[in-house]
Amino acid sequence: MSAIRSGAWRSLIAPGLASLLALSILLGLGVWQIERKAWKEDLIARIVRESKAEPTAPPPGAAWDPQRDEFHHVRMSGHFLNDKETLVHGLAPGETPGRALQGYYVITPFIRDDGGTVLVNRGFVPTELKAQGDRTSGLIEGETAVTGILRASEPRTMFVPAPDPVRGEWFNRDVAGIAAARGLGDVAPYLVEADAVAGQTSWPRGGQLRVDLPNNHLQYAFTWFGIAACLVGVFGVFAWRRLHEPA
In a domain, residue 143? The reply is yes
Distance CA 22, CA 102 (A): 41
Q: Note whether 90 and 148 are same-domain residues.
A: yes
In total, how many domains does the chain have?
2
Decide if 207 contacts 93 (C-beta within 8 A): no
In a domain, residue 116? The reply is yes
Asked whether residue 242 carries a pLDDT value surpassing 70, the answer given is yes
Distance CA 70, CA 46 (A): 10
In SS3 terms, 182-240 reads as: CCCCCCCCEEEEECCCCCCCCCCECCCCCCCCCCCHHHHHHHHHHHHHHHHHHHHHHHH
Asked whether residue 48 carries a pLDDT value surpassing 70, the answer given is yes
**For residue 151, what are the β-bridge partners?**
191
Decide if 73 contacts 149 (C-beta within 8 A): yes
pLDDT tens, residue by residue, 103-150: 999 999 999 998 899 999 999 999 999 999 999 999 999 999 999 999
pLDDT tens, residue by residue, 58-96: 999 999 999 999 999 999 999 999 999 999 999 887 665
The b-or-e profile of 208-228 (16+ CB within 10 A means b, else e) is: bbeeeeeeebeebbeebbebb
- For residue 88, report the phi and psi dihedrals to the nearest 5 degrees: -120, 125
28-to-21, 23, 224 alpha-carbon distances in Å: 11, 8, 9
Say if residue 66 is preceded by a cis peptide, omega within 30 of 0.
no
pLDDT tens, residue by residue, 165-200: 999 999 999 999 999 999 998 999 999 999 999 889
Q: Note whether 186 and 237 are same-domain residues.
A: no
Name which residue leads in pLDDT, 6 or 71.
71
Q: Note whether 85 and 34 are same-domain residues.
A: no
Crossing angle for the helix pair 217-244 and 13-51, nearest 10 degrees? 170
Q: Note whether 99 and 164 are same-domain residues.
A: yes
Range of the structural domain that residue 240 is part of: 8-40+216-244
The per-residue DSSP string of 108-125 comes to EEEEETTS-EEEEEEEEE
In a domain, residue 124? The reply is yes
